[in-house]
Structure 1
Amino acid sequence: MKANSLFVLLGLCVPLCVGASQVDRKRSELDALKQRLQTLQQDFNATQAHRQEAADDLRESERAISSSVRQMRQLDGERERTAGELQGLREQADATSARVRQQQAHLAQALRGAYTRGQGEALKLILNGGDPNQTARDLRYLSRLSHAQQAMIDSLRADLAQLAHLEEEASQKNGELARLRAAHEAEQAKLLADKRAREAVLQKLSVKIQRQRREIATLRRDERSLTDLVERLNRLMAQQAAREAARARAAQQAQQKQESARGQSASARRPVAVNSETPVPFRSNQPFARLKGLLHLPVAGELMNRFGAPREGGGLNWKGLFIRAAQGTAVKAIAAGQVVFAEWLRGFGNLIIIDHGDGYMSLYSNNESLYKQVGDRVQGGDAIAAVGNSGGQPEPGLYFEMRHQSRPVNPLDWVK
């Protein structure tokens, strides 16, 4: 491309004595340039199609990761509940162990008494020739004592069996929880690896597309320049000196525009402000409109644009704020409301929208994962998502919008 551009500039500087042979040579070069441009345009279209496929694959990966993170949070809640159950089982086991020890002591005492009296106590009572009524009462006492000892032995066996059952149940719950946690961690690791691989493919295709766009733009510029040169050589040989000056001025202006664009791009990458405060949990019965000036932005980080300012590439203005933040940082709801959208959306990645009533909505996009689902009620300060770079965003952060009756409003007018 540099050689073609240099050739065009040199062509502008040909002497006034240029002839028909040079015009023919320029025409031949123009035909070759058009053929090259056509081939490059076809390659560019094919690359665009591949990039779309990679973006669709990345969308599925980000959806799966969001679902996996939500399942992990649910598993953590189950783990806390199971820990409480295990604590209850341990307390039951401790109580059973104490009861078993007490019964073992009573049984040992009864057995020692029986051993001291000897095994023929009932027979002695019958043969000693004493009072029959007293003998009958003594025999009933011995019978009751025997039944009580047998009942104590049966109770001891039942308590020992219950203790073994409780210990087995606690062991099974611990094992089940460990298996579930390991399986989810393995699945999440695989999903993250797939996402990184697809992001790498998408990045390579994006770089290739940018390079092809620059090359196509350069070729088209060279084609126009070369076409102008051929026409002017045929039509206005005498005015070639004036054309040289005009071309030089155009080249200088183009260079100045490029340098200005590079300067604007470098400036855009610098933050315009820094936010350090985030929503804290609160409840309010006031209408959302009365909270104006009392809210906080949903995540701490660097504000990379101003509301309403032109976006890079031209044609569109910023309708919200992009807040650059660390991957995985909690995104918090600015106020109470109901989740009306929680899904991946092209250009926005994992997007969640909260309806605050009276036509007011807040939008949180480019998230790594979504913690809430459609229909969930949230309060101000609730964690609803995690910062990411889904949807093809080159760096992690949160794109945040506020809307009233579908029209964007400046979020900075609503914060302290």
Structure 2
Amino acid sequence: MSHAQEADEASINQQLQTIKTRLSELKTALNSARGEEARLLQELERQDQKINEQGQLIRTSQQKIDLSRHQIEGLTRQITDLKQSIDQQKQQMAGLLRLHIYISHDRFIKKILLNRDSRSVDITQHQIKFLQHRLYSLIEDIAEHITQLSDIKIQTQNKQQQLKQQQQVLQTAQDQLINQKQQRAQVLSHLRQTINAYQNESETLNQDRQRLNQLLAEISQLLDDLPEDLGANAHFAQLKGRLDKPLSGDIIRRFGALRAGHSRWDGIVVAGESGQAVKATAYGRVAFADWLRGYGLLVVIDHGDDFMSLYGHNQSVLVEVGDWVQSGQEIATAGQSGNLSESGVYFEIRQQADPQNPEPWLKSP
């Protein structure tokens, strides 16, 4: 890498750090509230973040378990191959031993082999020596394979013990996740009661929408100076009708449908099981990856040309601000952080900050 490229990379990293700091400050301001509502919102975010961390731990533990199982399968195949090899070598050795004993002790065979021709005597003696050498070689191979077999069995036992420990870690993490979700449900219930005591749901949703619009406007300004690098990837505008859903599930909330009062959905909700992979619909740079009031754990991807995609109410976030992501890359796991009543992902497409109906952008079912 040249000095100029290093300088450019350092400049971009500095810009990203500035963006992260500004987004953190903005998130704090947007999430602000008063009194009991403020306390409950902070507790809700804390619970969602704990679930996020727990989800990441479960994912990492599962990956380690899958790797250990794969390694154990490989070691088991090696054990089977070595056992077969040892059995074959034992059979060869038994045959050679029988032949050696037969030649060494049968006088008639010796008389035929050791005839008057001295050259024949030399050949026969050479054959017997070769036979002896082959026997010694087989014995050494069998001993080496038995040692390898013992080592691999020890490795397999260690891997199985490691797998057992990893499964225990996973089970503990899953139990803690269930407990945290129960605590979160209680907090969310108290928060909804508090909000309903002071304002109606429609007002709350509109305020959440205004917070999101303010965040996206700020993101657009922050990302203006960052270089775009689409490479061989198509421009987002060319992908209409070709996008995969971020989650393989049914659309349970549609764009423009009423939510409460006069508030309407600016995106769609795709149903899915908690922990199910949420994938980026197109190539782009992560512009936001944090908790936002009303949307829970939210990922925003900037696709260039004033297009953004939003993925809200996640259980866990797997990317950071500044990351480049590919189409189909896992960026989060489905959940119901924030205030979503069903498990899934909230998906929006924005052009110049204006919500677009995502369904025409998706592939036909």
TM-score (norm 2): 0.63
Cα-to-partner distance string for 1:227-270 (whole Å, 9 max, x where unaligned): xxxxxxxxxxxxxxxxxxxxxxxxxxxxxxxxxx99x99xxxxx
1:62 aligns with 2:51: yes
Partner of 2:82: 96
CA RMSD of aligned residues (A): 4.2
- In the TM superposition, 1:181-220 aligns within 5 A as 181-208=167-194, 210-211=196-197, 213=198
1:394/1:112 CA distance change after superposition, 3 Å:
closer
Contact 2:79 2:152 in 1 (8 A): yes
**How far is the alpha carbon of 1:390 from its aligned partner?**
0.4
Equivalent of 2:161 in 154, 158, 175? 175
**How far is the alpha carbon of 1:325 from its aligned partner?**
2.6
CA distance in structure 2 between the partners assigned to 1:73 and 1:373 by the alignment: 21
Contact 2:254 2:265 in 1 (8 A): no
Partner of 1:301: 251
Partner of 2:308: 361
**How far is the alpha carbon of 1:190 from its aligned partner?**
0.9
Partner of 1:164: 150
CA distance in structure 2 between the partners assigned to 1:112 and 1:397 by the alignment: 72
Partner of 1:347: 294
**How far is the alpha carbon of 1:53 from its aligned partner?**
4.0
SS in 2 for 1:335: coil
Contact 1:69 1:369 in 2 (8 A): no
What amino acid does structure 2 have at the position aligned with 1:175? Q
Partner of 1:320: 266
1:152 aligns with 2:138: yes
Partner of 1:377: 325
Partner of 1:290: 238
What amino acid does structure 1 have at the position aligned with 2:147? A
TM-score (norm 1): 0.57
SS in 2 for 1:102: helix
**How far is the alpha carbon of 1:186 from its aligned partner?**
1.7
Unaligned runs of 5+ in 1: 1-43, 215-260, 266-283
Cα-to-partner distance string for 1:258-291 (whole Å, 9 max, x where unaligned): xxx99x99xxxxxxxxxxxxxxxxxx95422133
1:408/1:319 CA distance change after superposition, 3 Å:
farther
**How far is the alpha carbon of 1:78 from its aligned partner?**
2.5
**How far is the alpha carbon of 1:363 from its aligned partner?**
0.6
CA distance in structure 2 between the partners assigned to 1:105 and 1:398 by the alignment: 63
Report sequence identity in percent. Answer: 28
Partner of 1:239: none
1:313/1:159 CA distance change after superposition, 3 Å:
same
1:285/1:57 CA distance change after superposition, 3 Å:
closer
1:335 aligns with 2:282: yes
What amino acid does structure 1 have at the position aligned with 2:193? V
CA distance in structure 2 between the partners assigned to 1:46 and 1:365 by the alignment: 26
- In the TM superposition, 1:393-412 aligns within 5 A as 393-412=340-359
